[in-house]
Amino acid sequence: MSEAGSRKLAGYTFGFRANSLVDGLILLGTFIVEWDEGKKLAKQLLLTKESAQMYAERLTELAVALNFDGWLLNMEVTLDPKQIPNLKEFVDHLSQTMHSAVPGYDSVTIDGDLSWQDQLNDKNKPFFDLCDGIFVNYTWKEDYPKLSADVAGDRKFDVYMGIDVFGRGTYGGGQWTTNVALDVIKKDGVSAAIFAPGWVYETNQPPDFQTAQNRFANLFVSGDGEAEVLLFLPSQEVPQMTDSIDDSLLADNGTFSFGLYKVTLARLAKGHGYHIYVDGEQVLDTPWNNISSQSFQPFIEYPGDPSTQPIQVVIK
């Protein structure tokens, strides 16, 4: 699942949507109401039950027209308690008309206070009960995922504990220790919502983006640094493929080894590259980026004992 950035109303580019269909991602637009301007919008949106329904229907029509799957709702303003019934109507009506993913953010409470709870509790559960999940604010404490799971009951996987990769008040510190929070979330059986995963690129992590991004992505699948997933290499970076699987470098024969796993890669295009090829011949020495050209990215996990049953995967 992926959601668009933090503007009042945000969706996706065509290329991003086209790529999501290949990888089976659920894409959410963002509807955020904040600051003084947001209070004015909330007053108009929540004026009556009918206005709440009307805005929900317009959001549904927009999502259908732009071909994405749902909305992340973030009402980040203080509300008059008298507006809460209409807010509940808005959340419920949008969930019903979308017939798809409509999670809400942990911000305004059932009392109308703008008070981030950092967990699922009686202050925000009435909204949780009307939609598809909750994106919990990222300043939670170690026991909050377990407390949230207890409140959610059989819907515990609909609780997405926030993690700010930049580490701004987030449990475990984010950045290269993002896995610390993920380990707690996994242990307590809830889900994770990753905020600002572009940290690697935005902060220019060494030695280069692709190497740093691969290292960062592997934090998401194992807390001890051992890889359970093999990730991304542009097809343009694989000069020669063979059927053999050994410990040689990718640049030599297209075989990639990491931890306990070995995979021969072919045409795993990331949607960007350093050169442009036609029919296997380089025609331009020009960097390019087109996410809609990204091929399916495999997720490979082997839970068994690798010493007795090693895994070998060849993708052609």
Domains of the chain: residue spans and CATH: 2-218 (3.20.20.80), 235-314 (no CATH)
Lowest mean pLDDT among 3-17, 51-65, 179-193, 250-264: 250-264
Q: Please check the confidence at residue 294 and state whether its pLDDT lies above 60.
A: yes
State the angle between helix axes of 49-66 and 35-45 in degrees (0 to 180), rounded to the nearest 10: 110
pLDDT in tens, 152-166: 999 999 999 999 999
DSSP 176-245: GGHHHHHHHHHHHT-EEEEE-TTHHHHTT-SS-HHHHHHHHHHTTT-TTS--S------GGG-----S--
Q: CA-to-CA distance for 246 and 89, rounded, in angstroms?
A: 59
Are 228 and 302 spatial neighbours (Cβ–Cβ below 8 Å)?
A: yes
**Residue at token pair 């030599």:** 252
pLDDT at 101: 82
Are 266 and 14 spatial neighbours (Cβ–Cβ below 8 Å)?
A: no
CA angle, 293 then 298 then 302, to 5°? 170
What 3-state class would DSSP assign to 114?
Answer: strand
Lowest mean pLDDT among 77-81, 120-124, 284-288: 284-288
Q: Please check the confidence at residue 60 and state whether its pLDDT lies above 60.
A: yes
Q: CA-to-CA distance for 107 and 33, rounded, in angstroms?
A: 10
Q: CA-to-CA distance for 218 and 231, rounded, in angstroms?
A: 8
Q: CA-to-CA distance for 301 and 316, rounded, in angstroms?
A: 18
Q: How confident is the model at residue 228 (pLDDT cuts 50, 70, 90)?
A: very low
The model's pTM is 0.76
Q: Which residue has better confidence, 13 or 117?
A: 117
What 3-state class would DSSP assign to 264?
Answer: strand
pLDDT at 24: 67
The answer to whether the Cα torsion of 64, 66, 68, 72 is positive or negative is: negative
Question: How far are the Cα atoms of 30, 34, 57, 260 from residue 7, in angstroms, in the given order?
Answer: 7, 10, 20, 42
Q: CA-to-CA distance for 181 and 276, rounded, in angstroms?
A: 40
pLDDT at 214: 84
Q: CA-to-CA distance for 135 and 157, rounded, in angstroms?
A: 11
Q: Please check the confidence at residue 316 and state whether its pLDDT lies above 80.
A: no
Q: Please check the confidence at residue 110 and state whether its pLDDT lies above 70.
A: yes
Are 158 and 189 spatial neighbours (Cβ–Cβ below 8 Å)?
A: no
